[in-house]
Chains A and B, each alone.
Chain A
Amino acid sequence: MTDVIEKEGKSVENALEKASNELGVAKEDLVYEVLEETDRSFIGIGMGKKVKIRAMVKTPEAVADTAKKALSTILEYMGVDAVVEVKDKMLTEDDVIHVYLEIIGDGSGLLIGKHGATLDAFQHLVNKITNRKFSGNCNIHVDTENYRKKREENLTQLAMRLSEKAKKTRKPVSLVPLSAKDRKTVHMALKEDKEIQTKSTGNGLLKRVVIIPSKHATQDGPN
């Protein structure tokens, strides 16, 4: 499934070229690590230089494998009885490989945490680990028990309710601090409503969305 080969060359570039020829893919689609670097030349002419690399094709399959393994290992060390499944994997037009992982556990909520904090922690670490190995452009999504969708629905409903409140009282209504993704959900939920505007205020962990009633009338919208 994952094609990994080891190659030697006079330079990294040279070894990569050999790997790219043998695997039949462009150099740009390879990720590699340097295993050995020996330099036996005297005045640096580069004659005796030898570099050994391990190269691997950067495919959605390889990325998904790495991400799944990282998450499974973390869960195993946590003593959690759960299985990780790759729900989807794809390369999008902007050259990003997306992998959707799902944890199938006992449904206790332990893996979700308060407002998804534990799930977000898994996602953050698996992204870090995978992107390190594949030098970036990988986006790993981690979900369990359909939590992401449920959270989005709940936030959308909350946003609707609070926007009604803002309109009725004609005063800004502020939400509790939310993650970037959750704030986006709120902004998107109220995007079409011309009677109110949404803004983010605060910094870092304390960033929150404020719903502001539009000053004048309803027809024209903002500005």
Chain B
Amino acid sequence: MAMKELVEYIAKALVDNPDAVRVSEIEGEKTSVIELVVAKEDLGKVIGKQGRTARAIRTILSAASTKINKHSVLEIIE
């Protein structure tokens, strides 16, 4: 399972500055926190109108986590 890589792939495919995308994972026993950093001007692209894109990434992340009986939280950082 590659939650970090999953978020990284999606983020890079959405933004104008893929080189500025950084993803880190803080792994807990049950819960993992995935931190996504993008360039300031790309923030809107990963969040989307009314947060729709961010919600879509979170939905996919939780589906992938369910598969391995875990929880994942996505934090988007400027």
Interface residues of A (CB under 8 A from B): 70, 73-74, 77-80, 110-111, 113, 117-118, 120-122, 124-125, 128-129, 132, 204-205
Interface residues of B (CB under 8 A from A): 1-2, 5-6, 9-10, 13-14, 45, 48, 50, 52-53, 55-57, 59-60, 63-64, 66-68
Number of residue pairs spanning A and B whose beta carbons lie under 8 angstroms apart: 65
The 7 closest A-B CB pairs, nearest first, are: A77-B6, A121-B56, A121-B59, A78-B64, A124-B56, A129-B13, A79-B1
Picked from B50, B52, B63, the residue with its CB within 8 Å of the CB of A118 is B63
- B-side interface mostly: helix
Complex CA distance for A43 and B63, rounded to whole angstroms: 56
Interface pair B64/A79, CB less than 8 Å apart: yes
Interface pair B56/A125, CB less than 8 Å apart: yes
What is the CB-to-nearest-CB distance from A18 to chain B, in angstroms, rounded to a whole number? 25
Interface pair B66/A132, CB less than 8 Å apart: no
Interface pair A78/B56, CB less than 8 Å apart: no
Complex CA distance for A129 and B45, rounded to whole angstroms: 10
Interface pair A125/B68, CB less than 8 Å apart: no
What is the CB-to-nearest-CB distance from A105 to chain B, in angstroms, rounded to a whole number? 11
Known: A74-B10, A124-B56, A129-B14. A113 touches B2 (CB 8 A): no
What is the CB-to-nearest-CB distance from A106 to chain B, in angstroms, rounded to a whole number? 11
Known: A125-B56, A125-B60. A77 touches B67 (CB 8 A): no
Interface centre among A74, A77, A117, A204 (most CB of B within 10 A): A77
